[in-house]
Amino acid sequence: MKRVCERCKQKPNMVSVSKMNNDIICVDCKTAEEVHPMYHAAMKAKHAACIAGDTNYPGLYAGKIYPF
């Protein structure tokens, strides 16, 4: 069963997890996210949490519905 992109509701061949929150998103939505002004801050925060051992870090925009 294909995963549904949580943002555009398409069923892409490939999905990945957002850097902004835990949304499962397609490549198109990921590309759109990468130009978000807070993308790099969100990525840094996620990376820092990962280094600190917080593997369940929900993201800077956790619980928020895209677009932020």
Question: Contact positions toward Zn ion, by CB under 5 A?
Answer: 5, 7-8, 26, 29
Bridge partners of residue 16, in order along the sequence: 25
Q: DSSP 3-state assignment of 32?
A: helix
- Contacts of residue 31, defined as CB under 8 A and 6 or more positions apart, other chains included, come to none
Give me the least distance between CB of 53 and Zn ion, in Å please: 30
Q: Which of 4/43 has CB closer to Zn ion? A: 4
Give me the least distance between CB of 16 and Zn ion, in Å please: 10
Q: Which of 20/29 has CB closer to Zn ion? A: 29
Give me the least distance between CB of 63 and Zn ion, in Å please: 19
Name the E strands within the chain: 15-17, 24-26
